[in-house]
Structure 1
């Protein structure tokens, strides 16, 4: 690897200084809770799109997906394709409606706050339970980013894994702590461009632009690598396997850190432009990630007699093998970019749940805006320490940690959010039932195995949650007049803003 290269170290330091400078600039523009948690709702289409994409993909895009393609070949396209379709549908189905309704619902800042105001929940149960699931699942999600950071610093600089994870955590916390949403979004714009550039440059450089030769070499190595219907052992993929991979796309509708970008965009018109940018970025980035895995497999097979002990390090291996230390340092910084772009967003959403949905609602309703921001910043530190504890196992899989948290958010919030944006008859009890059933199904299903239980837990989680919402809403009292009047106002606002 590029171990202890002064050039690479210098590249990383320069990169971090630039990110911290952006955070400091954003800090000077953060005056209240709306600024800290949603950037004052003034994101343009480019930062909104690339911030959503970069915060979504994380180190998973440069470590997890290439590692999966390295191990499974074109079978990975089921996963990548599901995510691409999910990205497009999320922007199409949710973006404008959520932005409009969150403004109509008295400028709701967080997802739990939106759901509470959507159903006029005086009991605060919806907001509290939603915030609980956000904190629980984000601990796993954030820890996946810290694991990715640990692998990066361990591989590049030869650091002990524990020290590497601590260093990575400090990098993420430092500018999230001060800049808030603006720092996160603006740095995500830079990091998203760097990530996609790295994923396209590395495989193209590795195969010298010869896609035909790549296909031929893979076919010679193992023809099943090029068959999306079979595993690499030649056996047909089961329906459960295909559905499980493609179903990753269903998770988008419940990811709080992605949904926050919809609410923060400055206009509904910008969301149309942002959708096109986001889908194009996702398609290019995932195509590059799959190519990295496939090219890396050929490289390892021809150059490394001992193979590779961890497929999630294949991107780093290729970068070191192909590029000059200066270029390698820049490209490896893309991994840090991917990690930071997601972990900062997760920490910010988690801290907003802690500050807005727990502290303000349950402990001190009269808390000032500056006090909420302070609690949010303290929450970033506390949550980082918990995620750091979970990330201390060097054998943790980035993809494994992400899959659990992704399913948790998708099932707990996806059905509740989509139905609340489209169905006037849905009530508070239905929302509660959907959030609880979805979240609990993920936790229980994850513990089971064999037969139908090998199905990715997001599928039963979303189905059971949606059924619970509909049945519970119809079996209990209709929403009262204030709730239905607000829904009518939202529909009118949506027509006007479109």
Structure 2
């Protein structure tokens, strides 16, 4: 009976996604519709789809898992950086990018960079497209792997079969419905994620006796609730977090938002730029509350284990999965609610995968094949090509996801740093500094992307002060290169300056 309720909830959820994909397929009349929804997204869908595609399974698995394992310090500074990054991105980038991208007729991020800097050499187009493919395809594969692991552990299915089924659903609604389907389903998935968070907290607190019990036990663990230390359960002692440099490095996650293609595309797609303020308020409030609740769930789970409600967790990232399975044992209705919670974990992952596949597909079919190599196709054939490329990228993601032991969150962290360093500084300077030119943009983009690899694999292993998150040095290098090279090379043509001033 417990499993039946979970199965019903998840099957209904997956069927709803496929139906929505088929429903929005008829709205895709042009390639602009397919990749940007015709710039017709409302403020609520824009806000919540952006945040749903942002959070991924990190929200319901990563945050609670880290909080459970060592306390709130690390996740607090990470969440604070992400929350501030979310707000600032909406505040200074969203409206200007929406207007600028419409002014120069851009439907993808590589489009925007090439049109903004009038790069007739197509170096910016190719470089940014390759960066999107290099970092997004493994990211998509990690999402497929996360879904496969969840289905496999819940229902005892073979991992490969479970992964293929979940991948087929994501491919199905994204390939048919395009950007609009991905955005609206992401909006639905953000609601499911919210319900999952609330349900887990309510059930967990009811089993341990309320917030006071969680507070008392957490405070008894030295360093567990500290913002400057963590708790080592092996020695039952406090461990220093590492000081100001470590905190700055952790908060640097927030810099990644300025370069995330799947989030920036939501800014470009909103119907009315004047409604971005409403979207900003919705998304910022939701992000702070959702991350705060996720961290609390990790702390609460530690109390549930101490109280004997849950067994000691072998994998801390499965905290919500274990809580949902425990809830399912309380009858059919409880098992349905447990299914919604588990669907929330799927929603986190799927809402990120669909957006990433579209971004990677647009980079290959529109930016590389059509604009760089000049392959001319009719509007109908462009749509066909877009879907073929999307499916091909998904197949590569499936191949990457064959290994169930692949590090899901390691890939997420590395890809986040890659986009933040390669695109973030260039996007900010493109929008707010009219002296920036294509030479500086090329140098900054390539330099920032290369620095991520150098720091991650050559410098970071040295440890100590070099152990900081690679996004921070990568971002700084890209920013410095873009400014320096722009100043050392000819100023932009008057046409570029006039367009910049007109958007201002």
Question: When the two structures are superposed, what TM-score results if normalisation uses the length of structure 2?
Answer: 0.94
Q: What do the CA deviations read for 1:426-454 (whole angstroms, capped 9, x no partner)?
A: 00001101110111111121113112331
Correspondence 1:211 to 2:211? yes
Paired positions, count: 487
Between the aligned partners of 1:383 and 1:419, the Cα distance in structure 2 is: 31
* Counterparts in 2 of 1:305 and 1:285: CA distance versus 1, 3 Å: closer
Distance, in Å, in 1 between the alignment partners of 2:139 and 2:61 is: 15
Equivalent position of 2:484 in the other structure: 471
Q: Which runs of 5+ in 2 are unaligned?
A: 233-237, 329-333
Q: Counterparts of 1:464 and 1:390 in 2: how far apart (Å)?
A: 30
> 2:348 pairs with 335, 338, 347, which one?
338
| Alpha-carbon shift at residue 86 of structure 1 (Å) | 0.7
Corresponding position: 1:160 with 2:158? yes
Matched, 1:455 2:447: no
Q: Quick one: distance in 2 between partners of 1:207 and 1:271?
A: 37
Partner residue, 1:104: 103
Mean CA deviation greater in 133-142 or 196-205: 196-205
Aligned to 1:263: 268
SS of the residue corresponding to residue 447 of structure 1 reads: helix
| Aligned residue among 293, 303, 318 for 2:298 | 293
Deviation, structure 1 residue 201 = 2.2
Aligned to 1:236: 240
Q: CA deviation at 1:10?
A: 1.9
Q: C-alpha separation between the residues in 2 aligned to 1:224 and 1:143?
A: 36
Q: Aligned with 1:473: secondary structure?
A: helix
Mapped to 1, the partners of 2:419 and 2:310 lie a distance apart of 41
CA distance in 2, matches of 1:375, 1:429: 32
Quick one: structure 1 residues 402 and 55, their matched pair in 2 at CA, closer, same or farther if it must change by over 3 Å? same
Question: Separation in 2 of the partners of 1:162 and 1:304?
Answer: 32
Cα deviation, 1:4-54, whole Å, max 9, x if unaligned, reads: x22221221111111111111110111111110010001010000000000
SS for the counterpart of 2:436 is coil
- 1:466: Cα distance to partner? 0.1
Q: Which residue of 2 aligns with 1:56?
A: 54
What root-mean-square deviation, in Å, do the aligned CA atoms of Structure 1 and Structure 2 show? 1.6
Instruction: Find 2:125's aligned residue among 114, 124, 127.
Output: 127
**CA distance, structure 2, for counterparts of residue 399 and residue 69 of structure 1:** 15
What is the Cα deviation at residue 305 of structure 1? 8.7
Shift of residue 365, structure 1, vs aligned partner: 4.3
Please name the residue that 1:495 is paired with: none
Of 195-204 and 272-281, more deviation after overlay is shown by 195-204
Cα deviation, residue 394, structure 1:
2.2
- The CA distance in 1 between the partners of 2:82 and 2:125, in whole Å, is 28
Rounded to whole Å, the distance in 2 between the matches of 1:357 and 1:390 is 24
User: CA–CA distance in 1 between the matches of 2:380 and 2:427?
Assistant: 29
**Comparing 293-302 and 9-18, the one that deviates more:** 293-302
1:80 counterpart residue number: 79
Distance 1:143 1:299 in 2: 33
| 2:327–2:335 contact (8 Å) kept in structure 1 | no
1:399 is matched with which residue? 409
Structure 2 Cα separation of the partners of residues 334 and 122 of structure 1: 45
| 1:79-100, Cα deviation, whole Å (9 max, x unpaired) | 1111111100110010001001
Moved more, 325-334 or 342-351: 325-334
**Which residue matches 1:483?**
496
DSSP-derived class of the 1:29 partner? coil
Is 2:8–2:336's contact at 8 Å kept on the other side of the alignment? no
1:307 paired with 2:312, answer: yes
Which residue in the other structure is 1:191 paired with?
189
Name the SS for the 1:138 alignment partner: helix
